[in-house]
Amino acid sequence: MVPSSGHKLSTFGSVSRRLVYISLISSAYLISLTGLQKCRILQNYQSMSAIVSALSSAVISRLRYTWAHAGRESLLEPLLKYNSAHENYSYYRSVLNSVDGPCVPFCGMYLQSIVYVEDRHPDTIMVESPSMPGGQLTLIHFVKPMKLFELVTMMLRFQGKSYCFPENAVTTRFIQSQTSMAAAKADSWCWERSDEHQQGELSYSDVRKGLEAAGF
């Protein structure tokens, strides 16, 4: 089982993606990728991954007219490789190896590795007792904590360098309120709003065709 801290990281990633859903499908048919580029520049890969995952989901990607002027091919698609699990996140790992300065890593890769270690390695192992013929001893399986230590160390190494700007209390409260709101929304709500947007796009398309036919 994933440790409680792992559950928190996983939940934060899910809530972040849902927050992107809500922000977009509650807006006036407009997608801006400015924040996505800022995350990449700041090496905030956790937030960038949540945004990329949300934007490439069916809930958002099917909104054709919403995407019309967002620069999807030039701005979003090159960043999809950061989220790709191909060859155990080989591209993302190569990026992390070259990181210099403050960084917020994408924790999904580490969580996946933690789950693998948890499932593959038991806490204890049984061995034959050298003093009791036919008996067995229960020993701590030290391979498991060693592998978990390696993973946690890889994550914590990015805490050595801090960002040069201080925490903003107003921004922090806003993010906390928004994430709490997003956590309370069900996936069905996001799909319903996406359906409403798609119907709005179809209506907009009909109006646009009518204007073009009239010579406007």
pLDDT score of 147: 93
* Residue corresponding to tokens 């069900």: 186
How many other β-carbons are positioned within 10 Å of the β-carbon of residue 178?
Answer: 15
How confident is the model over 86-106, as pLDDT tens digits? 888 899 989 988 888 899 998
Is there a contact between 104 and 157 (Cβ–Cβ < 8 Å)? Answer: no
Q: Is the pTM of this model over 0.85?
A: no
pLDDT score of 3: 47
- Beta-bridge mates of residue 125: 139
What is the chain's mean pLDDT, rounded? 80
pLDDT score of 198: 77
Reported as type and span, the H/E element at residue 131 is none
How confident is the model over 112-159, as pLDDT tens digits? 888 889 899 999 988 888 877 778 888 899 999 999 999 988 888 888
- As given in the structure block, the two tokens for residue 123 are 């806490």
Q: In this model, does residue 215 exceed pLDDT 50?
A: yes
Q: What is the largest CA-CA distance in the chain?
A: 96
Integer Cα distance of 92 and 45 in angstroms: 9
How confident is the model over 174-187, as pLDDT tens digits? 888 888 888 888 77
Which of 59, 46, 38 lies closest to 8, judged by CA?
Answer: 46
pLDDT score of 62: 80
- As given in the structure block, the two tokens for residue 40 are 């990449």
Q: In this model, does residue 11 exceed pLDDT 70?
A: no
How confident is the model over 189-203, as pLDDT tens digits? 788 878 877 777 777
How confident is the model over 58-90, as pLDDT tens digits? 888 887 777 776 667 677 888 888 888 888 889
Domains detected in the chain: 4-106+165-213 (1.10.840.10)
* Residue corresponding to tokens 């890889």: 154
